[in-house]
Amino acid sequence: MPEARTGPAPADRRAAEQRSPLRGTLWLAFVVQLAAISLATLLSVFGAWIVLRDVLIQRALMDEATHYWQRYEREPGAALPDTFNLRAYLRVGDDDSGVPEKLRALPPGYHIVPDEDSDDLVYVEDGPRWPLRLYLVFKQEQVDALALWFGFVPLALVLMVIYLMAFLFYRASRRAVSPVIWLAGLVRGWDPKHPDTSALEPEAIPADAGEDVRVLAGALRGFARRLDDFVERERNFTRDASHELRTPITVIKVAADVLETEEELSPFAQRSVGRIQRSIRDMEALIESFLILAREGDVGLPEEDFVVNEIVGDEAEKAESLVVGRPVVVRVVHEAQFALHAPSRVLAVMLSNLLRNACAYTEQGEVTVTVGEGYIRVADTGLGMSPEELKRVFEPFYRAKSGEGKRGSGVGLTIVRRLSDRFGWPVEIESERGVGTRVTIRFPNAAPA
């Protein structure tokens, strides 16, 4: 008979719990709770000790003095209070021989007088009629003993009970969230392209998992399967689109090139063929951009070491056909040379979009591509944009008012921004209405050419 599966091994579950931030959060909450309870309890006991010493005992000494003066009026020779906790001294006139030296200079009122063993609580009060002064001395060590036995000892017992209950609650919480931590560890280790859901099958779930955990595991299992289907559909789409879309475009491109060689074409037909060829180039760049962005993580292009200056030269040469018939010059300035390790086609797509934008919005002047130390800058002398338009320039399908009537889909700069975010190449854009626009791509991972 095959052995039934009871979930992951205890060692694996313990390792997952130790790596889980949820377990750390529980432990932190447990420690903070105990610290707060301990601090609040200690402050309460300390406050009670202060009240006992400075309020209750002071009040008791005042009442004791009042009671003594009442007795003294009825019986002048009444004995002074002398108990285990309280000792009294009486000064008659200027005769203070019966009063300890450390008490003689004390004025009427409540005092704390240092002693060898512990501080004494002293209350001094003058008599109501005669030149008399009463000194009542209460041993503070008795207060400390009371605070110890009736304050700190019960406090220690209460804290022990609180600590025990909190620890038991912590253990119970750990057991309750342990399956959740295990699930989190499984999901964290999934490959987004191929999530392994075998560990979430009902027979693989830990035996101590509750019904809520089993429902959560089932939901995660269903989500992982849908995610797997989605990745497969995305992979199929990019593969089919790459083939099916490029094939007709290639046919149209070849047909347009053949038509261009015909000598009998009228000027109008030649202009139409030129528009077809420009549209084909735009469509090729747009399709390639979309296919790169459609792939999650891997763009489907090989990474290689290439010199950036070569890519810039190729794209600038292609862009010259976009300004045919206009007084616009496309030129390249090589101030430096550097190389990158990345898919070269990605950089080509970004430059193609920037150059097509620059050429489309420049009626006269020049479009300059500058290669510097770790950056590429595309500058034009075109229409430019206002500060308000510049804030929205990376929004999909946004077209500045200054560019109304120009060719374009409004997604070129959006594609550039998304590719820059994907590969960590920051894009900066500056523009001024009537002066032109400058777009700079920086490459933190640039290497010497």
Least confident of 23-27, 61-65, 269-273, 375-379: 23-27
Answer yes or no: is pLDDT of 106 > 70: yes
pLDDT digits (tens, 9 = 90+) for 212-256: 777 777 777 787 788 777 777 777 777 676 667 777 888 888 888
Write the secondary structure of the chain as one string of H (helix), E (strand) and C (coil).
Answer: CCCCCCCCCHHHHHHHHHHCHHHHHHHHHHHHHHHHHHHHHHHHHHHHHHHHHHHHHHHHHHHHHHHHHHHHHHCCCCCCCECCCEEEEEEECCECCCCCHHHHCCCCEEEEECCCCCCEEEEEEECCCCCEEEEEEEEHHHHHHHHHHHHHHHHHHHHHHHHHHHHHHHHHHHHHHHHHHHHHHHHHCCCCCCCCCHHHCHHHCCCCCCHHHHHHHHHHHHHHHHHHHHHHHHHHHHHHHHHHHHHHHHHHHHHHHHHHCCCCCCHHHHHHHHHHHHHHHHHHHHHHHHHHHHCCCCCCCCCEEEEHHHHHHHHHHHHHHHHCCCCEEEEEEECCCEEEEECHHHHHHHHHHHHHHHHHCCCCEEEEEEEECCEEEEEECCCCCCHHHHHCCCCCCCCCHHHCCCCCCCCHHHHHHHHHHHHCCCEEEEEECCCEEEEEEECCCCEEC
pLDDT digits (tens, 9 = 90+) for 174-187: 777 777 777 777 77
Looking at residue 51, its pLDDT comes to 66
Least confident of 74-83, 116-125, 296-305, 346-355: 296-305
What the block records as the tokens of 71 is: 């007795």
Answer yes or no: is pLDDT of 199 > 90: no
List Cα–Cα distances, 161 to 33, 43, 168, in angstroms: 14, 18, 11
Distance CA 442, CA 437 (A): 16
Say which CATH class 301-448 falls into: alpha beta
Average pLDDT over the chain reads 79
190-294 CATH, one of 2.40.160, 1.10.3120, 3.40.50, 1.10.287: 1.10.287
Indicate where the chain has its CATH 3.30.565.10 domain(s): 301-448
For residues 283 and 252, is the Cβ–Cβ distance under 8 A? no
Cα 418 → chain centroid: 22
Confidence of residue 279 (pLDDT cuts 50, 70, 90): confident
Provide the terminal-to-terminal Cα distance of the chain, rounded to the nearest Å: 67
Distance CA 119, CA 111 (A): 10
Looking at residue 297, its pLDDT comes to 55
Looking at residue 52, its pLDDT comes to 62
Which strands, in side-by-side order, build the sheet including 338-342? 304-307, 338-342, 447-448
Q: Note the pTM of the prediction, 2 decimals.
A: 0.49
Distance CA 444, CA 427 (A): 12
Answer yes or no: is pLDDT of 430 > 90: yes
Q: What is the mean pLDDT of residues 396-400?
A: 70
Looking at residue 5, its pLDDT comes to 40
Looking at residue 208, its pLDDT comes to 63
Answer yes or no: is pLDDT of 155 > 60: yes
| Maximum distance among all Cα pairs of the chain, rounded to whole angstroms | 147
pLDDT digits (tens, 9 = 90+) for 123-140: 999 987 778 899 999 877
Q: What percent of the chain has pLDDT over 70?
A: 79
Looking at residue 366, its pLDDT comes to 94
Looking at residue 95, its pLDDT comes to 82
Higher pLDDT, 354 or 230: 354
Looking at residue 21, its pLDDT comes to 62
Indicate where the chain has its CATH 1.10.287 domain(s): 190-294
Q: Which of 41-55, 71-85, 116-130 holds the top average pLDDT?
A: 71-85
Distance CA 48, CA 154 (A): 13
Confidence of residue 307 (pLDDT cuts 50, 70, 90): very high
Looking at residue 206, its pLDDT comes to 65
